[in-house]
Amino acid sequence: MGKRIYLCLAKMSESGAEQRFVQEAFDTNWVAPLGPNVNAFEEELENFLNSTLKKVAALSSCTAAIHLALLLVGVKPGDEVLCQTFSFCASSNPVIYCGAKPVFVDSDAETWNMSPELLEEAINDRIAITGRKPKAIIVVDLYGMPANWQAIEEISHRYEIPVIEDAANAMGSFYKGKPCGSFGALATFSFNGNKMITTSGGGAIVCPDDAIKQRAIFLSTQARENALHYQHEVIGYNYRMSNVCAGIGRGQMTVLQEHIDHHKHVHELYTELLSNTDLTDKTDVRVQANPTEDYDSNFWLSTVTFGKDVDVTALCKALNAAGIEVRPLWKPMHLQPVYKDAPAYLNGVSENLFNTGLCLPSGPWVTDDDVRYIVDCIKKAIV
Ligand SMILES: Cc1ncc(COP(=O)(O)O)c(C=O)c1O
């Protein structure tokens, strides 16, 4: 068998910028979770968000960022948090780290992210059942597609419940011209090895002002009080990003736009090739698209759904056997055994996506020829 085509492998810049920033960290002995690369990476992320208000703290992962975001909006043991069910487990697991209770909410059919209608229904129902408002809402821009932020932020303001934006997948996506990672009370990014850019492992929290950023840094560095000795008045975490990893991040910022353009190009090619009538005559094949011009997805992963007549599991196995890494769309959290007792507000959208959809290789190493080969393999398996 020839080469394997992966969903989204990290790619370092051709200029070697990452190595230069990492070398600088070594040369100056800044190898701890603080230093010039961390500061500069945060500043570059703030510039990227194009807002004078947003302040960014670089952390060890997006999961850590979501955990801190929950603590910063005051989530306490026993509180309920509304979570998008159609996502990776890292969107909701931090709710459990806080001793709080996730309540899952299904998606809308357009964005595949949290349905505003169901969100409002869930809020009212939780108030009726528990006598208390949910403490926070976690909304995801899944696969890079922005959520319906206008409707969600309107509900968040009306009920005065803070939203946390999980923009792990959505660096370089925009909603109504505003970058993902700048919605809600707090937002989070992932720089894991398979994301739009990487720091090997890493993440960031986007804060509304510097005071909250400083609080996030305080909590992420073991909550050390300002004293000569080690003084702790609250529980902290070891969640800060290392200066070595931040060096990789600074190098990756030089190719961010290139990566975004590439993901969008790959998506365009899938859309063109999979709309071929050989295939559309056979089954209802749809590549996810921006629902309206308000949405500008980075298409971190191109995703496709098939008609019920296609056995997606068999297709997934056939493609993997042909050297192509494909995965089913996320299995919703309300169907995961670990969350079987959590309340859920459902409309069937996420379960249907899980049963009919696949993620396709989309990263910076995927060539046009790879996309043609993948589409040919899909056709062979179906037509
Ligand atoms: C939607 C979503 N949220 C959160 C995460 C967690 O990111 P990290 O691996 O940086 O903790 C991921 C990672 O894949 C993700 O896809």
pLDDT at 277: 78
Cα separation, 333 vs 92, in Å, equals 8
Confidence at 69, pLDDT banded by 50, 70, 90 = very high
Tens-place pLDDT, residues 120-157: 999 999 999 999 999 999 999 999 999 999 999 999 99
- CA separation (Å) from 161 to 120, 134, 183? 11, 7, 14
Residue 238 in tokens: 């070891």
Q: Say how many Å lie between the CA of residue 333 and the centre of ligand 1.
A: 14
Ligand 1: centre distance to CA 339 (Å): 18
- 20 membership: H or E segment, kind and range: helix 17-27
For the segment 358-369, the average pLDDT, to the nearest whole number, is: 98
Query: What's the pTM value of the predicted model, to 2 decimals?
Result: 0.97
Q: How far is the CA of 297 from the centre of ligand 1 (A)?
A: 17
pLDDT of the residue at 49: 95
For residue range 157-200, list pLDDT tens digits in order. Answer: 999 999 999 999 999 999 999 999 999 999 999 999 999 999 99
Mean pLDDT along residues 319-338? 97
DSSP string, 291-315: SSTTEE---SSEEEE--TTS-HHHH
Report how far residue 328's alpha carbon sits from residue 278's, in angstroms, rounded to the nearest whole number. Answer: 23
Residue 276: the pLDDT is: 82
Mean pLDDT value across residues 32-47: 95
pLDDT for the residue numbered 51: 79
CA distance 301 to 330: 12
Residue 290: what pLDDT? 98
Give the angle 116-122-124 at the CA atoms, nearest 5°.
105
Distance CA 141, CA 183 (A): 10
> Cα(82)–Cα(295) distance, rounded to whole angstroms?
23
Determine the straight-line distance between the first and last CA of the chain, rounded to whole angstroms: 23
- Give residue 27 CA to ligand 1 midpoint distance, Å: 32
pLDDT, tens digit (0-9, with 9 covering 90-100), for 206-262: 999 999 999 999 999 999 999 999 999 999 999 999 999 999 999 999 999 999 999
Closest ligand 1 atom to 63 CA: 11
CATH fold for domain 256-382: Aspartate Aminotransferase, domain 1 (3.90.1150)
3-state secondary structure of 72: helix
Give the pLDDT of residue 353.
98
Instruction: Give the binding-site residues of ligand 1, using a 6 Å CB cut-off.
Output: 61-63, 87-88, 90-91, 140, 166, 168-169, 190, 192, 203
* For residue 303, pLDDT beyond 60: yes
Mean pLDDT over the full length of the chain: 97
Burial class of residue 37 in the structure, from the number of CB atoms within 10 Å of its CB (0-12 exposed, 13-18 middle, 19+ buried): buried
Res 270: pLDDT: 98
Q: Do 17-253 and 256-382 agree at the fold level? A: no
Min mean pLDDT across 27-31, 130-134, 241-245, 366-370 is at 27-31
> β-strands 174-175, 178-179: how paired?
antiparallel
Residue 144 Rama label (left phi>0; alpha psi -120 to 50; beta): left
Cβ 134 vs Cβ 107: under 8 Å: no
Confidence of residue 17 (pLDDT cuts 50, 70, 90): very high
Atom of ligand 1 nearest to the CA of 203: 10
pLDDT at residue 282 in the model:
86
Question: Atom of ligand 1 at shortest distance to CA of 90?
Answer: 4
Rg of the chain taking only CA atoms, in angstroms: 21
Domain spans, the chain = 17-253, 256-382
The answer, yes or no, to whether residue 63 has pLDDT greater than 70, is yes
Provide the CB-side half-sphere exposure for 8 (13 A, CA): 26
Per-residue DSSP letter, 132: S
Give 278 Cα–ligand 1 centroid separation in angstroms: 36
Longest CA–CA separation in the chain, Å: 73
Residue 1 has pLDDT above 60, yes or no: no
Q: Where are the alpha helices (DSSP H) in 226-348?
A: 243-253, 256-274, 277-280, 312-321
Q: Which atom of ligand 1 is nearest to the CA of 192?
A: 10
Q: Hey, what CATH class is 17-253 in? A: alpha beta
Q: What is the pLDDT of residues 85-112, one digit of tens each?
A: 999 999 999 999 999 999 999 999 999 9
